[in-house]
Structure formats: structure tokens, C-alpha cells
């Protein structure tokens, strides 16, 4: 049974009927009020039913009505305040939709039930609240029902919200539920990124690239897809294009130059012109197929063209799978630094085919493991244990082991992004372990000396040096990090980089607050902290330990 109804429950006066009507209009659904259904069927008022037959008989009638209502779909149903007391009713509603409890403070209920409400034109008769002591009646009756109200899927407090605001909150929750439990139920979902604004899946598997057309067709109709790729991933883009065209999805392809040095506003401008010439619309889709450079740049285009078009990530490098495709960070580089222009813009979904890694150049593949290992270093020592135990299998891209470890690693990032989408709470910054110095080294090397993962590996060694020198990371654990990076063939030092250029690039670090760099450090393997009072002398020593 598909869950295609929204049931509103809650105490009298929380606004179920008024909100229900407005929400039904938003969704284009049918509005149903169970009390009105009862009155229509029995051709009398609720008060008369209570008076003539009693509450017990009323509850039987109510249960029969909700059973009948649940035989239909796409309804917003305002239920009587006591309907959810019955376990049978709750189970039936739960099988056919989501249950949303509308809540309000005591004083709000007293005001509304005393004559004003979310709909001040009506004053409903509520038999169980007919009393000379309304305050005591509300407290007593609500306290008896509160435990079952709390079993709802969502609760929305209506006290200080207008009707449209309550309806919008429920609408957004419904869209999240719909995506998570209906649309994505048959997908190869490894993790979900769930932010206040949206929810989207990260699909990971071996040989799943050819499933992309069915995913697009399940989420939209008659769309046009604009594929953005580079010369390195063009073969995958052509494969995706053929798959989409065979599913009667119209496509256009833009192939940009490969490399970080082309992640610029100039390239963005060329794609803008391309989209404008093709008359791209907001309902169309921009799809990035390639590594992090393609994903970052195409995502920025999607975020800004027409003030936002739909976006899909199809990463084909390990680095992009593990890092840049997840979290909604998009952007381009300036001469003064990396990713200085950008936006947070979440994709509709991410599809990562692990089989694509078998065609990666060895250096690119090794570089990508830096981000995967980073997730374990900052959040999960058990994941580091698995990477240490399975070095040979991972480096040989064993199908099952590699896929499973990638899923486990990126699940860490998905959870962090979900909890702190815009880096406001101090959680997401942990993902920048190794990136302060790593990004600076990339900039100083003009994005040609090192691959991103290589620079992050060196940056993690510098951050580990600082952690150890401050006495928060033991020497044995610092050596363990070093050994882990070396096991996977990652560099721990770099030569030929100007130290002054690195220091200057660090001054533009996005993690700077009030002029001080917020350093992500380790206090043990599997746990990270942030410090913004690292002495300049120690920073210079750390740089000297990795730049030779």
C-alpha cells in the first residue's frame, strides 16, 4: 500500500481543519474532515451523536469512517482529536500515509477554543470540552491523549504561525517523506543527505551507470538534460547520453578542457552562452559527469543560471565520489585562491558507479583515497581499521570490499553535511582536515604541481604535526596516520613549492574567522577538534616539516 495521504491529528483548536483545507489546495488533493463525514453519513451533528449514543458508539462510527477514507489516495485528512486513541486507527493511517500532529501551547488553545482560532469565523461545538471550567477540561483531556499524539511522524507547533506557514512546513516534510520512502525505495541508495531545504540520495554501486535514465524519468517528465563533462570523462558522458536518448530524454553535451586551471569564470561564461543558445529552462537539468573540477563548475552554473536549475552529479573519479559530489559546495577558482567564488547548491541526486574507477589513471585513483581516509581519521577509527586490514584488496579495486568501504566512508560525509549544510554550526568544518595547508599548496603550485588528494594528504601530515606538537595527538597515533597514508601511496611531503606563496594563500582560507585560521586537528584517530589559537611559529614548523 502506497502512503499517499496526509493525516492531521492533534487536540481541538490546533487548526487541523483550517490548515488541512489550505494544504490540500497546495497539493491539489482532496480535503476530508472526518467529523464532517460522520455528520453527513448520520445526518446529524457530532453533539447529537454524543448525546444520544454516547462516546463509545461515536468512536465505532469514527473508526468505520477512517477505514473508508483510507481506501482513497491523495487526500489531506483532518481527524477528530480523539481518533488516534485507537491503535487500530493509528495503524490504518500509518499504512496509508503520514500522520502529522498539530500542537499548540495551553494559552493558545484556551484563546482559540474560547472563541478565536486559526479560523475566527467559525466556532465549532466540541462535546468533550463543554464545561464551565474549560481550562481544567483542556488540561485533563490533552494530558490523556498526549502520549498518542507524540507517536505521529511529524509535529508542527502552530502557535505563532499563519495558516500558510503551517501548511508549507507540512508540505516540505511530505516532499521529504515522499522522496525518501517512495521515490528512492528502489534505488541503489548508500546514504541520504537530509538538509532543512531538501533531501537527496547518494547512489553507489558497481555497474549502475545505466540506471540513470530510469531515475530521471521517475522524478520528472519531458525534461532536457545538459551534460557537462571534460575530455577525461567524455566516454562516460557519451555513454550516459546514449542511455538517456534511448529513454527518450533529450540531451546536449558540453565538453570543457580538463584540469583545475580551467575551473574559472571564463569557462562558466562559455557554458552560460551555450545554455542560452539552447534556450535552457529552469525545469531542465544540468548534469555533471567527471571529476571534482567538472562537478564544482557545473554545479555553480546550475546554481546561478536562471537563478537555479536542477542539478545531478555523476562523479567518475574517486576524489569526486568521496568529496566534491556530496554536500552542495560549488564554485570556481580565482588567481588569488581556490573556490573563492561559489554557492551552496544541492543536487537532485548523486550517482557513483564504482566500476568507473577501473579506468582511472593510477595516480588519480591513489589521490582519491586521501579523502576516503580523511573521513575515518576525523570520525571513525573503525573505518581506519578496515582500510588498514584491506590495503591490497582496496588498491586492487576488489568489487565488494571497495564498494562497501566507499559507502561507509561517504556515509560519514553525508551525515556531517546533513547536520551542518552551510558550515554554521562548527560540524562541517571537520571535513576540512588537511585542507587549510592542502589548498594553499595547490594554489602556490598553480594547480599543476599536485592533485587535490595529494595536497590534502600533505596537509593532513602538517595538521597532524600541529596536533602532536600541541600535545593533543600522541606520537604513536601521528605515526599511525603517516603509515596509513604511505600504505595507500599518498605523498607526505612536497618539494619545489615556495613557502611564502603557501603562507600568502593560507590568508585567504575560507575557514578564517576574525583574522585567525580555524585549524581542524586530531586529538585521536577517529576524532577531530577545532582550534584557532595555533602559534605562528608552530605553523611555520609544520609547513617546514612537509615542504622541502
Neighbours of 196 (CB within 10 A): 10
Confidence of residue 122 (pLDDT cuts 50, 70, 90): very low
* pLDDT top residue among 510 and 258: 258
Residues with catalytic function: 307, 329, 371, 413, 423, 428, 432, 435, 439, 452
Average confidence score pLDDT of the chain: 91
Q: Which phi and psi angles does 314 have, rounded to 5°?
A: -125, 80
| Cβ neighbours for 126, distance < 8 A, ≥ 6 positions apart | 12, 81, 113
Q: Per-residue confidence at 515, pLDDT binned at 50, 70, 90?
A: low
Residue range 419-434: mean pLDDT, rounded: 87
Contact 200, 184 (CB under 8 A): no
Rounded to 5°, the CA angle 476-451-415 comes to 65
pLDDT at position 123: 46
What is the topology classification, in CATH, of domain 189-360?
A: Rossmann fold (3.40.50)
Q: Per residue in 54-71, pLDDT tens? A: 889 999 999 999 999 999
Domain ranges for the chain: 5-183, 189-360, 420-546
Whether residue 302 contacts residue 239, with contact meaning beta carbons closer than 8 Å, is answered with no
Answer whether 444's CB lies under 8 Å from 502's CB. yes
CB-CB neighbours of 537 under 10 Å: 9
Q: What is the pLDDT of residue 115?
A: 47
Least confident of 256-260, 513-517, 527-531: 513-517
Secondary structure letter of residue 425 according to DSSP: S
CATH tag for 420-546 (out of 3.30.470.10, 3.40.50.300, 3.40.50.11540, 1.20.1090.10): 1.20.1090.10
More confident residue, 482 or 449: 482
Whether pLDDT at 129 is above 80: no
- Asked if residue 138 has pLDDT above 90, the reply is no
Q: What per-residue confidence (pLDDT) applies to 336?
A: 83
DSSP state of 81: T
Write down the pLDDT at residue 132. Answer: 59
Give the number of C-alpha atoms closer than 13 A to the C-alpha of residue 206, restricted to the C-beta side: 11
Band of the pLDDT at 131, cuts 50, 70, 90? low
Domains 5-183 and 189-360 share a fold: yes
* Cα–Cα dist 93/149, whole Å: 13
Higher pLDDT, 183 or 303: 303
- Do residues 156 and 170 lie in contact, with contact meaning Cβ atoms separated by under 8 Å? yes
Report pTM: 0.74
Grid cell listed for 412:
560519514
Amino acid 188: pLDDT: 82
Residue keyed to cell 484556551: 110
pLDDT band with cut points at 50, 70 and 90 for residue 119: very low
DSSP one-letter string for 273-332: HHHHHTT--TTSEEEEEESHHHHHHHHHHHHHGGG--EEEEEE-SHHIIIIITSS-EEEE
- State the architecture of 5-183 in CATH terms: 3-Layer(aba) Sandwich (3.40)
C-alpha to C-alpha distance for 379 and 528, rounded to whole angstroms: 7
Q: How confident is the model at residue 324 (pLDDT cuts 50, 70, 90)?
A: very high
Q: How far, in Å, CA of 342 to CA of 325, rounded?
A: 14
pLDDT 10s digits, 405-417: 999 999 999 999 9
Query: Rounded to 10 degrees, what is the CA torsion of 446, 463, 330, 317?
Result: 80
User: How confident is the model over 303-319, as a mean pLDDT?
Assistant: 97
Per-residue pLDDT at 1 exceeds 60: no
Bridge partners, 524 (sequence order): 527
Continuous segment of H or E residues that includes residue 96: helix 87-96
Q: How large is the average pLDDT for residues 190-212? A: 91
pLDDT at site 121: 43
Amino acid at each position: 500500500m502506497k502512503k499517499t495521504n496526509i493525516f492531521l491529528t492533534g487536540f481541538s483548536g490546533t487548526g487541523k481543519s483550517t490548515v488541512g483545507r489550505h494544504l490540500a489546495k497546495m497539493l491539489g488533493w482532496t480535503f476530508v474532515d472526518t467529523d464532517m463525514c460522520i455528520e453527513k453519513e448520520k445526518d446529524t451533528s457530532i453533539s447529537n451523536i454524543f448525546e444520544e449514543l454516547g462516546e463509545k458508539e461515536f468512536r465505532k462510527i469514527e473508526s468505520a469512517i477512517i477505514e473508508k477514507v483510507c481506501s482513497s489516495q491523495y487526500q489531506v485528512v483532518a481527524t477528530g482529536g480523539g481518533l488516534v486513541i485507537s491503535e487500530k486507527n493509528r495503524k490504518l493511517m500509518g499504512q496509508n500515509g503520514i500522520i502529522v500532529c498539530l500542537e499548540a501551547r495551553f494559552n493558545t488553545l484556551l484563546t482559540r477554543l474560547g472563541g478565536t482560532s486559526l479560523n475566527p469565523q467559525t466556532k465549532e461545538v466540541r462535546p468533550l470540552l463543554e464545561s464551565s471550567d474549560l481550562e481544567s477540561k483542556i488540561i485533563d483531556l490533552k494530558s490523556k491523549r498526549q502520549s498518542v499524539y507524540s507517536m505521529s511522524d511529524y509535529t508542527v507547533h502552530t502557535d505563532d504561525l499563519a495558516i500558510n506557514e503551517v501548511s508549507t512546513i507540512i508540505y516540505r516534510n511530505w516532499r521529504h517523506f515522499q522522496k525518501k520512502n517512495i521515490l528512492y525505495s528502489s534505488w541503489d541508495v548508500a546514504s541520504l543527505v537530509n538538509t532543512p531545504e531538501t533531501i537527496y540520495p547518494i547512489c553507489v554501486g558497481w555497474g549502475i551507470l545505466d540506471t540513470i535514465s530510469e531515475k530521471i524519468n521517475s522524478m520528472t517528465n519531458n525534461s532536457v538534460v545538459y551534460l557537462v563533462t571534460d575530455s577525461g570523462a567524455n566516454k562516460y558522458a557519451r555513454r550516459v547520453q546514449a542511455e538517456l536518448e534511448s529513454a527518450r530524454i533529450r540531451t546536449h553535451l558540453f565538453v570543457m578542457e580538463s584540469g583545475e586551471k580551467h575551473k574559472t569564470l571564463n569557462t562558466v561564461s562559455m557554458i552560460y552562452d551555450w545554455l542560452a543558445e539552447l534556450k535552457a529552462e529552469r525545469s531542465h537539468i544540468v548534469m555533471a559527469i567527471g571529476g571534482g573540477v567538472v562537478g564544482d563548475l557545473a554545479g555553480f552554473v546550475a546554481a546561478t543560471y536562471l537563478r537555479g536549475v536542477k542539478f545531478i552529479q555523476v562523479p567518475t573519479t574517486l576524489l569526486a565520489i568521496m568529496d566534491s559530489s556530496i554536500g552542495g559546495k560549488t564554485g570556481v577558482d580565482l588567481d588569488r585562491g581556490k573556490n573563492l567564488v561559489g554557492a551552496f547548491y544541492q543536487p537532485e541526486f548523486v550517482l557513483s558507479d564504482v566500476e568507473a574507477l577501473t579506468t582511472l589513471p593510477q595516480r588519480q585513483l591513489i589521490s582519491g583515497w586521501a579523502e576516503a581516509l580523511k573521513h575515518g581519521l576525523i570520525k571513525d577509527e573503525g573505518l581506519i581499521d578496515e582500510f588498514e586490514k584491506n590495503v591490497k584488496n582496496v588498491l586492487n579495486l576488489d568489487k565488494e570490499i571497495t564498494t562497501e568501504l566507499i559507502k561507509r566512508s561517504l556515509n560519514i560525509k553525508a551525515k556531517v553535511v546533513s547536520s551542518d549544510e552551510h558550515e554554521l554550526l562548527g560540524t562541517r568544518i571537520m571535513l576540512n582536515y588537511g585542507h587549510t595547508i592542502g589548498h594553499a599548496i595547490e594554489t602556490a603550485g598553480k594547480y599543476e604541481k599536485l592533485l587535490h588528494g595529494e595536497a590534502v594528504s600533505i596537509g593532513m601530515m602538517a595538521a597532524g604535526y600541529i596536533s602532536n606538537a600541541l600535545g593533543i595527538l600522541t606520537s604513536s597515533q601521528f605515526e599511525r596516520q603517516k603509515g596509513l597514508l604511505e600504505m595507500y601511496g599518498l605523498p607526505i611531503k612536497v618539494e619545489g613549492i615556495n613557502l611564502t606563496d603557501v603562507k600568502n594563500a593560507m590568508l585567504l582560507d575560507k575557514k578564517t574567522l576574525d583574522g585567525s585560521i580555524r585549524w581542524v586537528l586530531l586529538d585521536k584517530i577517529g576524532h577531530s577538534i577545532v582550534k584557532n589559537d595555533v602559534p605562528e611559529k608552530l605553523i611555520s614548523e609544520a609547513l617546514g616539516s612537509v615542504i622541502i
